[in-house]
Structure 1
Amino acid sequence: MQPRLGDLALHIARVSLCASGVGLAVRIESATLAAAFEGALFFASFALMHDVAHGALRLPRKANELALAFSAALMLMSGHALRLMHLRHHARPLAPDDAEGAPARLPLPRALLDAPLGALALRVEALRAAGPSGRRCQLAETALNLASLALLLASRRPALLAVAATATCLQLTMAVWAAHVPHNAPAWMLAAARRLAFTRSPIALSLGYHERHHRIPNLPCSRLALPSPDRT
């Protein structure tokens, strides 16, 4: 099968634009702009990582592995850990052993309260569940995450501290916005997300068409709203 170059180009453009915004914000020392663009970069990187984790872009294996590691590194996360837990979620959605989906089974206040510790527990579970090769990848990626965070904090520059804080906050609340909300979204929220599908926003598409994603996980996020999605 041929790589889905159009979908890949869309991801690259989105990530590059957001990264450029972060760079500009750091250059002019605007912590507010840095936080805003870092938030956009986090979600753009998440969308890329998600498509790569499912092999939806049809990249060659080595390129797919590199894209997985790179996209997650932009979020200060381990791509191989995220993929392992996410594919388990798709295999048995909301089952007792679905650690990623566990927040969806909780009331929203409890999911918010448990989210930070849940983020750490998810990394530990991914490391435990991985084979030797996967464990080495996860450890290397985690070491890179910690080194990147340490460099951001050591800079003591407000804009870079805002980047670190934003990425950390989004990571520690991922259980809510990536797990609880998509599986418990009220009808009005789904309708609003679908009305915004024309923007090709990965947030709107992933929320509005979450059930379709579970039915066709190898379909790129940008194609979820298509009337006749490609099932191959």
Structure 2
Amino acid sequence: MQPRLGDLALHIARVSLCASGVGLAVRIESATLAAAFEGALFFASFALMHDVAHGALRLPRKANELALALSAALMLMSGHALRLMHLRHHARPLAPDDAEGAPARLPLPRALLGAPLSALALRVEAFRVAGPSGRRCQLAETALNLASLALLLASRRPALLAVAATATCLQLTMAVWAAHVPHNAPAWMLAAARRLAFTRSPIALSLGYHERHHRIPNLPCSRLALPSPDRTWAHRPCKPSSIPLERRGPPRRSDR
């Protein structure tokens, strides 16, 4: 299968535009703009990481692994940890051993209060179930996350501190906006999200068509609203060479 270059280009354009906004905000020392653009960059990076985690862009394995690591690094997160937990969620959605989906089984107030702990629990669980190779990747990515955060904090520049605070806040609340809300969204919210599908916003599409994403996980998010998805790809398993061992079979300790 050929790489989906159009979808990749759209992701790169979004990330580049948002990153440029962050750079401009830092240059003019605007903490408010830095926080706003960092929020946009976080969600753009999350959308890219999500498509890459599912192999939806059909990239060669090495390119896919690099894109996974870099897109998550922009969120100060570990791509390999995120992918492992997300694919376990898809294997057994909201099951007792679905750590990513656990907040969706809680009332919203409890999910919100427990969100920071959920974020830490996901990191710990991802490391626990990963194999040797996966653990090495997670350790390297986590070290990069901590180093990046330390540099941002050490700068003492308001704009960079705003970047660090925004990324940290969004990461620590993922249990709500990435887990609880998509699985418990009321009808009016789904309808509103679907009305915004024409914008190709990954937020609107992933919310409005979340059930479709679970049915066709390797369809790029930007295509979820299309009336006739590419079924030749959507229902065909990825080539084994492009799927890390952490992604194969039922949830269990990886062979990697």
Smaller-chain TM-score range? Answer: over 0.9
Identity fraction in percent = 98
Distance in structure 2 (CA, Å) of the matches to 1:138 and 1:64: 16
Counterpart check, 1:211 vs 2:205: no
Alignment partner of 1:89: what SS? Answer: helix
In the alignment, is the contact (CA less than 8 A) between 1:75 and 1:167 conserved in 2? Answer: yes
Distance in structure 1 (CA, Å) of the matches to 2:38 and 2:192: 25
Distance in structure 2 (CA, Å) of the matches to 1:102 and 1:231: 31
Distance in structure 1 (CA, Å) of the matches to 2:123 and 2:187: 32
In the alignment, is the contact (CA less than 8 A) between 1:219 and 1:231 conserved in 2? Answer: no
Alignment partner of 1:72: what SS? Answer: helix
Moved more, 195-204 or 222-231: 222-231
Q: Which runs of 5+ in 1 are unaligned?
A: none
Instruction: State the TM-score, normalized to the length of structure 1.
Output: 1.00
1:138-195 CA distance string (max 9 Å, x none): 0000000000000000000000000000000000000000000000000000000000
Q: CA deviation at 1:85?
A: 0.1
Counterpart in the other structure of 2:104: 104
CA-atom RMSD in angstroms: 0.4
Distance in structure 2 (CA, Å) of the matches to 1:112 and 1:89: 19
Q: CA deviation at 1:230?
A: 1.4
Distance in structure 1 (CA, Å) of the matches to 2:3 and 2:96: 35
1:70-108 CA distance string (max 9 Å, x none): 000000000000000000000000000000000000000
Distance in structure 2 (CA, Å) of the matches to 1:37 and 1:126: 29
Counterpart in the other structure of 2:9: 9
Moved more, 8-17 or 222-231: 222-231
Q: Which runs of 5+ in 2 are unaligned?
A: 233-256
Q: Which runs of 4+ in 1 moved over 6 A?
A: none
Q: CA deviation at 1:231?
A: 2.7
In the alignment, is the contact (CA less than 8 A) between 1:100 and 1:179 conserved in 2? Answer: yes
State how many pairs are aligned. 232
In the alignment, is the contact (CA less than 8 A) between 1:115 and 1:173 conserved in 2? Answer: yes
Counterpart in the other structure of 1:168: 168
1:185-232 CA distance string (max 9 Å, x none): 000000000000000000000000000000000000000000011134
Counterpart in the other structure of 1:144: 144
Distance in structure 2 (CA, Å) of the matches to 1:217 and 1:231: 12
Distance in structure 2 (CA, Å) of the matches to 1:193 and 1:225: 11
Distance in structure 2 (CA, Å) of the matches to 1:13 and 1:83: 22
Distance in structure 2 (CA, Å) of the matches to 1:126 and 1:109: 25
